Structure 1
Amino acid sequence: MATKKTKKPGDTSLAKEWKRLEKQYVKTLGKDAAGHHPAELEPRVLAFQHEFDLTPLLPSEYLQFVKELGYRWVSTGDVKLAFLPPRWMLSLSQQMGVPGHKWEAVREEREAGTHNYRFVMFASSDINDVNGYCFGKSEESDELVVWNVEDSLPESELGSFSTWLEQELGALSEALSELDEENEEERELGEPLGLEGESLPVAVKASKKKGPEELLAAFPRTEKELTLNGRKLGELPALIGEFAELERLWLGSTGLKQLPKELGLLGKLTKLDLSFNRELQSLPPEVGQLQNLESLNLKNTGLTSLPEELGQLERLTFLDLQATELKSLPACLFQMKSLKTLDLYWTPIPPEEIEKLRRALPDCKVGTL
């Protein structure tokens, strides 16, 4: 009597089919045609500080699939598909719009933490334009189905996860069979979405518990760019002064209340973004040491004044002071002859002061309302 073959726990037919597809890709194109994303990958940037629970929007068959396989990807170079790790699902879901709603209203809700999320993006072939696939309830019922996402907006229902994946497996297999051998040298294989390059080092996966100093400590001191927009830092550690090669520093919406004097040690810095830190009320005088700084974004901060040392920045061409708490023009602005763009929209600065500044800086475009 034949022994009945037992099914391994969690071993689904969909997972088997994906494994079979991966083998085809690797056999045809080599090991760089398939791989996986570490579950711990954390985006350097989050669009909004307020987060939400993904779980209610994830169907059980998807959860079973990633439990067995993790977050896999395949790529022919032109045709690709990648399953997103959890924190990237959150990040891209924050960037998605909602059908029938203006993005401005959705953004205001998400900034305030009052938005009711209806969709979770879980797979993609292009994160730059937020294209891919998300889960959301069907328009016909409460069933969680897959939606097609184009330019950050869910557009149409594609059925259950199993139905969608079966179709994707067929399309990916067909793309592999139709490859042109003559163009083999032009193919760019490897991790298709570039997530690892846009993520925090895996070593800082528990950074929210350890604090901002542990977060910075995980990066090489030779970094030329740090993008931490949307991270809940609260403070910028003095450790930032060790990043002597840094050229661009993005710290928008990070909850900063003050900046360390060590910021002035970043002599190669050309761009500094401190926007949307409403509790940041002052800058240290050491910012005057940033002699290579060309762009400074202070939009929507709580600044009520600027240090006079800011006038020493001879290469600064762009300064954004939109929606700050400045009630009069700091004297240092009249010294900044290299300025080409100065944004003063939504500030209570008297019009006569602004006209005086325009005469003092005739080559600078001063924006106001």
Structure 2
Amino acid sequence: MAKKAVKKSGDTPLAKEWKRLEKQFSKALGKASIGGYPAELEPRGMSFAHAFEPSPLLPQDYLQFVKELGYRWVNTGDTALGFLPPRWMLNLSQQMGEPSRPWDAVRSEREAGTHTYRFVMFASRDINDVNGYCFGKSEAGGELVVWNVEDSLPESELGPFSTWLEAEMDALGEALSALDGEGGDDEALGEPLGLEGESLEMKVAVKLPKKGSAEGVLAAFPRTEKELTLNGRKLGTLPASIGEFSELERLWLGSTGLKQLPGELGQLRKLKKLDLSFNRELLSLPPEVGQLQALESLNLKNTGLTTLPEELGRLERLTFLDLQATALKSLPACLFQLKSLKTLDLYWTPIPPEEIERLRRALPDCKVGTL
């Protein structure tokens, strides 16, 4: 009896074409221009506690593509395309709105776990404003097609996945050819979407206690640490001993159940990045945050903040501030003092448009994202 031929991974036309494209990138720009995301990559925080099952919205040719190749990316430094790993697909899909529906209604459904998702985001060139590509049913025939996503909203249909990907690969090839053999800037290459920096560490070097107080958790780290990643640990409170970490540059406290912060936080004079996202019971910041003179990035997304301390305006090096999905109803005066700010995320906040326009005029070099 003759043996049945076994189809090898990568035999489908789309996978072959993608591999050929990666070879072109590698030859022209080096290995830093291609790569892939681990399937297990976990965002530091999810927008809503209730996840959803994306399978009904994923077409078979896409499933076959990622089965063969995984979640690949390419990057010229000027243009890129990355396929999102599963948990990032859910995370960014939760952040998308729906055409012709008010965000407040969509958000209420997602918070309650009653929302029926009609779109799932699967690829992107730039996730900062939730831009990219999602799957959803065609308005014409009901089959699954690719939609273009701009500023977190599906805008237009781009056809079936295979057709869309062929066009994307052609465009990426043209972008590569347009470099005219100049090569790329190695510093601009590498992972293009910033997912790995915004994900939980896949391996934790320090084994933290599973039980015990927040003070006990901090006790597991030497005071000379430059980075603390505590996302997902239900701390409830941040001990005053956090002020003893004088060398700390990056502090990740997303989804830790924080209700308030100690004034000793202001003692972290070398802190550059602070993530407090997804702490819905965190209603205020201590005025001591104004002492964090090295701070460059502050993530307050999905917190319960209704205002900001005026001392925040003293942060002369702050370039990134995320206030997405907070309860701010008006712009705190301190924001107008942040002259170094380059990116301000105000998506899904009830701030009046006229206030936002006034801020844009006051900070012309800052990109203000809003719906």
Q: TM-score, normalization: structure 1?
A: 0.64
Q: Are 2:147 and 1:147 aligned?
A: yes
Superposed CA offset, 1:189-232 (max 9, x none): 2111122122221115xx9xx68959x97xx9202x8695xx57
Give the match for residue 39 of structure 2: 39
- Distance (whole Å) between structure 2 residues aligned to residue 246 and residue 264 of structure 1: 12
- Against the structure 1 CA distance between its residues 288 and 247, is the aligned structure 2 distance closer, same or farther, given a 3 Å change threshold? farther
SS, match of residue 203 in structure 2: helix
Give the match for residue 71 of structure 1: 71
- Distance (whole Å) between structure 1 residues aligned to residue 267 and residue 187 of structure 2: 43
Give the match for residue 236 of structure 2: 235
SS, match of residue 41 in structure 1: coil
Superposed CA offset, 1:25-55 (max 9, x none): 1011111111111222222233233322222
The question of whether the paired residues in 2 share the 8 Å contact of 1:120 and 1:134 is answered with yes
Aligned-partner residue type, residue 235 of structure 1: G
Give the match for residue 292 of structure 1: 291
The question of whether the paired residues in 1 share the 8 Å contact of 2:84 and 2:124 is answered with yes
Aligned-partner residue type, residue 234 of structure 2: L
Q: Using the TM superposition, name which of 167-176 and 178-187 deviates more.
A: 178-187
Give the match for residue 26 of structure 1: 26
Compute the displacement of 1:149 (Å): 0.6
- Distance (whole Å) between structure 2 residues aligned to residue 150 and residue 125 of structure 1: 11
- Distance (whole Å) between structure 1 residues aligned to residue 274 and residue 169 of structure 2: 44
- Distance (whole Å) between structure 1 residues aligned to residue 277 and residue 30 of structure 2: 45
Give the match for residue 160 of structure 2: 160
The question of whether the paired residues in 1 share the 8 Å contact of 2:266 and 2:290 is answered with no
Give the match for residue 245 of structure 1: 247
Q: Are 2:199 and 1:199 aligned?
A: yes
Gaps of 5+ in 2: 315-325, 335-371
Compute the displacement of 1:148 (Å): 0.7
Write out aligned runs for 1:1-369 (5 A). 7-8=7-8, 11-182=11-182, 184=184, 188-203=188-203, 221-223=225-227, 228=231, 231=232, 233=234, 235=236, 243-246=245-248, 251=253, 254-256=256-258, 292=291, 300=304
The question of whether the paired residues in 1 share the 8 Å contact of 2:282 and 2:303 is answered with no
The question of whether the paired residues in 2 share the 8 Å contact of 1:249 and 1:271 is answered with yes
- Against the structure 1 CA distance between its residues 145 and 227, is the aligned structure 2 distance closer, same or farther, given a 3 Å change threshold? farther
Give the match for residue 317 of structure 2: none
SS, match of residue 61 in structure 2: helix
The count of residues paired between Structure 1 and Structure 2 equals 303
- Distance (whole Å) between structure 1 residues aligned to residue 71 and residue 108 of structure 2: 31
Compute the displacement of 1:60 (Å): 2.3
Aligned-partner residue type, residue 201 of structure 1: E
- Against the structure 1 CA distance between its residues 271 and 27, is the aligned structure 2 distance closer, same or farther, given a 3 Å change threshold? closer
The question of whether the paired residues in 1 share the 8 Å contact of 2:123 and 2:134 is answered with yes
Larger of the two Rg values belongs to structure: 1
Identity %: 65
SS, match of residue 88 in structure 2: helix
The question of whether the paired residues in 2 share the 8 Å contact of 1:41 and 1:202 is answered with yes
The question of whether the paired residues in 2 share the 8 Å contact of 1:49 and 1:232 is answered with no
The question of whether the paired residues in 2 share the 8 Å contact of 1:269 and 1:292 is answered with no
The question of whether the paired residues in 1 share the 8 Å contact of 2:287 and 2:312 is answered with no
Superposed CA offset, 1:148-181 (max 9, x none): 1111110111122112111111211222222234
Superposed CA offset, 1:86-125 (max 9, x none): 1211221111111001223222332333322211111000
Q: TM-score, normalization: structure 2?
A: 0.64
SS, match of residue 146 in structure 1: strand
Gaps of 5+ in 1: 302-312, 324-338, 342-369
The question of whether the paired residues in 1 share the 8 Å contact of 2:41 and 2:200 is answered with yes
The question of whether the paired residues in 2 share the 8 Å contact of 1:234 and 1:254 is answered with yes
SS, match of residue 42 in structure 1: coil
- Distance (whole Å) between structure 2 residues aligned to residue 167 and residue 96 of structure 1: 24
Compute the RMSD of aligned alpha carbons.
4.7
- Distance (whole Å) between structure 2 residues aligned to residue 45 and residue 7 of structure 1: 39
